[in-house]
A and B are shown apart, each in its own frame.
Chain A
Amino acid sequence: MTALLEFQNVDVFYGPIQALRNVSLSINEGETVSLIGANGAGKSTLLMSIFGQPRAAQGNILYQGQDITRKTAHFVASNGIAQAPEGRHVFPDMSVEENLLMGTIPIGTKWVDEDMQRMFDLFPRLKERRNQRAMTMSGGEQQMLAIARALMSRPKLLLLDEPSLGLAPIVVKHIFQILRELAQSGMTIFLVEQNANHALKLSDRAYVMVTGEIRMTGTGQELLADPQVQEAYLGGH
């Protein structure tokens, strides 16, 4: 099986500061892979470097075998990689349906009705609020909307940047429930998360990132059981 997305020895700099050091990782088709790490470890940088923002100074990023290291953000985003950005970033003045419609930009509106229906099946809460403006919804609902919007482009790879950010534990649980359903349906998911407990339970494989380097890798269960990971990310119990 070839990797859907592959990082090969990627270095990324913000001016003089090195944010990613020699990062290599791969995501296979149909897998759920998560990347966990503390604040400032470089998780979001890694995710954004897929879109060339910031651009990798060294190394290659391959998507379906094609080098996308130097491609523009919109090229990457419109070729099967969809992202639910950190902090949700839904369009505040647009209704739920319009937000979903925006998600179809890369593929056009050919399947919009069908896909929208599917999103409403996946997130019944969004169906209730279909004509409501996104800014008037709760954080959890906005996160659902951000995920649904990303799915509207029928991506091959779904990138999620901290879907649990700023949400109540019960809502986080609900969101991960939905992500599990998505993963079981065959969606390839790359999850960047601080909430290691939830992320590891969901993932087939996971990477642990510390100050810009990949320190550990293994299956979700292995990492959950690892004493070091427990100590650092799971509250030591």
Chain B
Amino acid sequence: MSGYQTSFDLKRCLIDTVMAGLISLVVFGPIVGIVLQGYSFQTEPKRLAVLIGIVMLGRFCLSLFLQTVRGQKIAESFSKPGGGVHVLPPHHKSNLRFIIPILILLAIAFPFFANKYLLSVVILGLIYVLLGLGLNIVVGLAGLLDLGFVGFYAIGAYGLALGYEYLGLGFWSMIPLAAVMAALAGALLGFPVLRMHGDYLAIVTLGFGEIIRLVLNNWVGFTGGPNGRPVPNPTFFGLEFGRRAKEGGTPIHEFFGFKYNPNAELIFTFVVLVIVVLAVLYIKHRLTRMPVGRAWEALREDEIACRAMGLNHVLVKLSAFMIGASTAGIAGVFFATKQGFIDPSSFTFFESALILAIVVLGGMGSTVGVVIAAFVLTILPELLRSFADYRILMFGILMVLMMIWRPRGLIRISRRGYEVRKGVPPSAAHTRVMPTPVTGKEVTP
């Protein structure tokens, strides 16, 4: 586009405004305009008029703004397809190297000023970051649509509750064990679905998630069924976080001689969780640069080509399922610890959809995007407590808008391009070691 138009088209603005008003009438009319009172209902035209007025005014201002040069530029940047992965030059240095230390400092400072509520919200956010990162490997990188991800989450959470009850396992031993258990479950799911793609895969994984939930719900003798199961409190080298120790243990505040802090347990969970999230982020970052990470992405892009390249698609798919699942298993342990009590109703399909929404919203395959989206989708509902009834509506609107303007997610996936290493001469001694395509025949003895 060469030039931007400078004159204002008032007629278009007015048409836009009227259209927006009509749409909001259709949307808000039945919801806001009609109020049920017992068996009768009452119309509330004033409330409706105010809402529609706000929408129309907003649309009018938006239309005017979009006709300014600046607005046109913004509109253009939205309408750009922008599709696909953005390949950065090999030596690109990301801004993240400044942002990450700041975030770590923030995380260290956070427990000092946060109250109990804030801590638990952020812990929930971090748990969803873990879940998002796990599903991101399966959906974002390997391109395998998984709608039953919550199953692995449940395995981690119940692993802690049942492991404590039957085997006496605690928080620390369950973190690695939950990862292993969830990974095994991932492999179990992975085998039958190796040949499936897209819709079929989605249906099978959906079924898998439901199976896990239904087993937990109905095997009353083992899992406690709908009554749920208590979860042990975490300990720090055998030190407890309660005011008074149970069963002869030592409370941490007595051992170190500081004042009892009722938030200590949450702070402890937060600290361990931050460390785990950072470790997972680092591992994921390394994995995407390793051959297996590239293999995942290649599998997402073209499975036929992958197999023609000699890639073992069984291994690649299973590794994606297993690593993704193990992350969810760890998240489950933290969730159970934070809640102190779990029951099957925490692991419904809605949870899977939420995790998938985090991945889609964040941008499939983009780590930064997933982290941001996880916080947005867990903290936003908390901030919007007063609109609790409309949370799902807002959620839906957000998703629709996303798909229109940012179909590839908030943050475009970008990765560093391949770097040709210096110092290897183009036709060096290797030619004698192995037949090459160009000189193959002459060189082979």
Contacts and interface: CB of A to CB of B under 8 A. Distances in A.
A85 B310 CA distance: 12
A204 interface: no
B87 interface: yes
Contacts of A94: 85, 87, 297-298, 301
A19 to B, nearest CB: 18
A103 B87 contact: no
A111 B430 contact: yes
B339 interface: no
Contact of A154 (B89, B417, B434, B442): B434
B308 A154 contact: no
Interface stretch (A71-79, A167-175, A209-217): A71-79
Nearest to B440: A186
Interface in B392-436: 417-418, 420-421, 424-428, 430, 434-436
B313 interface: yes
A82 B418 CA distance: 22
A179 B304 CA distance: 23
B291 interface: yes
B286 interface: no
A114 B428 contact: yes
B313 A98 contact: no
A77 B426 contact: no
B442 to A, nearest CB: 6
A95 B301 contact: no
Given A94-B298, A114-B427, A114-B430, A155 B305 contact: no
Contact of B424 (A73, A82, A114): A114
B280 interface: no
Contact of A90 (B84, B302, B424, B442): B302
Contacts of A182: 437-438
Contact of B421 (A91, A113, A158): A113
A97 B301 CA distance: 15
B308 A97 contact: no
B309 A95 contact: no
Most B C-beta atoms less than 10 A away, residue of A29, A82, A94, A149: A94
Nearest to A79: B310
B294 to A, nearest CB: 7
A185 B311 CA distance: 27
A113 B420 CA distance: 6
B301 A91 contact: yes
B77 interface: no
A213 B418 CA distance: 45
Contacts of B307: 51, 73-74, 77
Nearest to A83: B308
Contacts of B440: 154, 156, 185-187
B312 A74 contact: yes
A150 B304 CA distance: 13
Interface in B299-327: 301-302, 304-305, 307-313
A91 B302 contact: yes
B84 A92 contact: yes
Nearest to B307: A73
A73 B435 CA distance: 23
Interface in A102-158: 102-103, 105-106, 110-111, 113-118, 122, 131, 133, 135, 149-151, 153-156, 158
A70 interface: no
Contacts of A153: 309-310
Contacts of A115: 436
A135 to B, nearest CB: 7
17 contacts: A77-B309, A78-B310, A85-B305, A89-B308, A91-B297, A92-B84, A93-B301, A94-B301, A98-B417, A103-B309, A116-B420, A122-B438, A149-B309, A154-B435, A158-B437, A186-B439, A187-B438
Interface of B: 84-85, 87, 89, 291, 294-295, 297-298, 301-302, 304-305, 307-313, 417-418, 420-421, 424-428, 430, 434-442
Given A105-B311, A106-B309, A187-B440, 4 more contacts: A97-B420, A102-B309, A156-B440, A186-B438
- Nearest 6 CB-CB pairings of A with B: A186-B441, A77-B310, A78-B310, A89-B305, A93-B85, A106-B310
